[in-house]
Amino acid sequence: RIAAVLDAFDGPVVVDEAYVEFAAGPSLVDTMSGHANLIVLRTFSKAWGLAGARVGYLVADPRVIDALDRIDLPYPLSAPAARAATIALDRAAEMEATVRRIVAERERLAGLLDDLGA
């Protein structure tokens, strides 16, 4: 469905992938990369566990990124938050293991709720 929107609409289409690490399917970054109007937002707040750091990023066409680079953001990224994100990236395997445990627990809980008829 996103592909249809991207094809039908000339303006930017912004998709929030805050929980992409927990999703079963692929990221739009992997499947829709040929669309210049696609802007994918990501965060370090969920799977990476850095909610307090308020670190995020976007994946977009280079022209979109160039335009955004010229804008002064109202809340600049602090040096400690940037450092926390850099350290987190070095620990991607730990994040992936944590996500696998959370997803397994989510599925277990969903099964228990199904058994209860909920």
Structural domain boundaries of the chain? Answer: 2-115
The pLDDT assigned to 98 comes to 98
- Neighbour count for residue 20 (Cβ, 10 Å): 20
> The whole model's pTM is what?
0.85
Sign of the torsion angle spanned by Cα atoms 76, 78, 79, 85: negative
Per-residue burial over 43-57, b if 16 or more Cβ lie within 10 Å, else e, is bbbbbbebeebebee
pLDDT category at 58 given cuts 50, 70, 90 is very high
* Architecture of the structural domain at 2-115: 3-Layer(aba) Sandwich (3.40)
pLDDT category at 45 given cuts 50, 70, 90 is very high
How far is it, in rounded angstroms, from Cα 24 to Cα 89? 21
pLDDT category at 90 given cuts 50, 70, 90 is very high
